[in-house]
Amino acid sequence: MPSSVMPTTIPGSGPQAPAAVSAVGLRKSYGDKTVLDGIDLRIPAGSVFALLGPNGAGKTTTVKILSTLVPADGGQAQVAGHDLAAAAQDVRGAIGVTGQFSAVDGLITGEENMLLMADLHLIPRGEGRRIAAELLERFGLTEAAKKPASTYSGGMKRRLDIAMTLVGDPRIIFLDEPTTGLDPRSRHTMWQIIRELVTSGVTVFLTTQYLEEADELADRIAVLHDGRIAAEGTAEELKRLVPGGHVRLRFTDPEVYRAAATALPGSTADDEALALHIPSDGSQRALRTVLDHLDDAGVEADELTVHTPDLDDVFFALTDGAGVPGQTAQSAQSDATKETVR
């Protein structure tokens, strides 16, 4: 690795973990379309941050602004301790960006792509070869290194893209939808790579449309909706925002169903399905209370399911579900959840 790298500790940091990225009031419009309407962010160094939002929410725009590719219309940001507007060159020296605008050249081999990056970073030839070999090995590309990158699978291209980014030894990496379009195996490989990056001290700024991905990887998640951060926190904190948890009891005998409804006054009844929904945090204690009530009434349910809130519930509660394009199936699932909240 080259020695001229950014320090991990960002100057001027307080007792809190130093911020790798901080932004206040970022705004961006294209024509009369407001894409970002005042975005605030604070991402501690050495963590994974996920910016979550559906297609067109403004995730790529945020990445492009923070990586100096497009200017913001308003607001301020520091990346790796450098002011975005005043010290764009220093920001560029500290970051790596991979994603939808891949830097991989398909006409040359994986190894040549790596060596080109080493040249761009003005790394001496010998050292460049050593770094390239090391990174190709780390990302499982040694065998394919001498083949044109155009012959690589989608997953291999993404891995090569990240390997190329790491040639410059960035302290902060922006990964714009790193797993969109990948098959499940490649997606898991990518998740593993991201976890390893963080172990080595890199800060990862990730954008994703996948709730599961944010849940798996991110220390903190921000939900982007209508140009603003609708909520921000750990996956657990976000899940606590929505009261989506419930116990569902289903019956086959209408008499038993009615007796259970009387025994559980807080429940919501679904007469057609002969089902009862009882708001619940899904804990053992809450479950026991429900079962005790049923026992006392001398009735037994034919089916019992526990639903604890997940990021889907959070996402759809925050974005009203209906307004989110391309999410109909999950939207319906969320509506089922909300039913119990009322």
Residue 155, SS3 per DSSP = helix
CA gap 148, 24 in Å, rounded: 43
Per-residue binding string, ligand ADP, 94-133, x by CB under 6 A, is ----------------------------------------
CA gap 201, 8 in Å, rounded: 8
- Binding to ligand ADP by residue 61, rule CB under 6 A? yes
CB of 56 to ligand ADP, least distance (A): 4
Residues sharing a CB contact under 8 Å with residue 296, sequence separation 6 or more, in sequence order? 263
| Segments of the chain assigned E as strands | 19-30, 33-44, 48-52, 74-79, 82-83, 95-98, 172-176, 203-208, 220-225, 228-233, 246-250, 268-270, 275-279, 303-307
Residue 35's nearest CA partner among 175, 221, 229, 226 is: 226
Q: What are phi and psi of 16, to 5 degrees?
A: -65, 165
Per-residue binding string, ligand ADP, 149-168, x by CB under 6 A, is --------------------
CB of 35 to ligand ADP, least distance (A): 4
- Binding to ligand ADP by residue 75, rule CB under 6 A? no
The residues in 2-31 that bind ligand ADP, with binding defined as CB under 6 A, are: 30
The residues in 39-58 that bind ligand ADP, with binding defined as CB under 6 A, are: 53, 55-58
Binds ligand ADP (CB under 6 A): choice among 39, 60, 215, 225: 60
CB of 328 to ligand ADP, least distance (A): 18
| Paired residues of 305 in beta bridges | 248
CB of 161 to ligand ADP, least distance (A): 17
- Binding to ligand ADP by residue 181, rule CB under 6 A? no
In this complex, which beta carbon is closest to ligand ADP, that of residue 251 or of residue 315?
Answer: 315
Residues sharing a CB contact under 8 Å with residue 275, sequence separation 6 or more, in sequence order? 248, 249, 250, 251, 269
CA gap 257, 301 in Å, rounded: 8
In this complex, which beta carbon is closest to ligand ADP, that of residue 70 or of residue 116?
Answer: 70
In this complex, which beta carbon is closest to ligand ADP, that of residue 189 or of residue 207?
Answer: 207
CB of 28 to ligand ADP, least distance (A): 8
CB of 99 to ligand ADP, least distance (A): 9
CB of 34 to ligand ADP, least distance (A): 9
Measured CA angle at 282 (ends 304, 291), to 5 deg: 50
- Binding to ligand ADP by residue 208, rule CB under 6 A? no
Dihedral angle over CA of 33, 63, 241, 329, nearest 10: 70
Q: How many residues bind ligand ADP (CB under 6 A)?
A: 10
In this complex, which beta carbon is closest to ligand ADP, that of residue 13 or of residue 55?
Answer: 55
Dihedral angle over CA of 314, 319, 324, 326, nearest 10: -10
CA gap 257, 182 in Å, rounded: 46
In this complex, which beta carbon is closest to ligand ADP, that of residue 58 or of residue 244?
Answer: 58
Binds ligand ADP (CB under 6 A): choice among 35, 66, 84, 311: 35
In this complex, which beta carbon is closest to ligand ADP, that of residue 18 or of residue 75?
Answer: 75
Yes or no: say if 126 and 92 are a contact pair by the CB < 8 Å rule: no
In this complex, which beta carbon is closest to ligand ADP, that of residue 35 or of residue 149?
Answer: 35
Yes or no: say if 47 and 232 are a contact pair by the CB < 8 Å rule: no
CB of 54 to ligand ADP, least distance (A): 7
Dihedral angle over CA of 153, 155, 158, 159, nearest 10: -110
- Contacting residues toward ligand ADP, per CB under 6 A: 30, 35, 53, 55-61
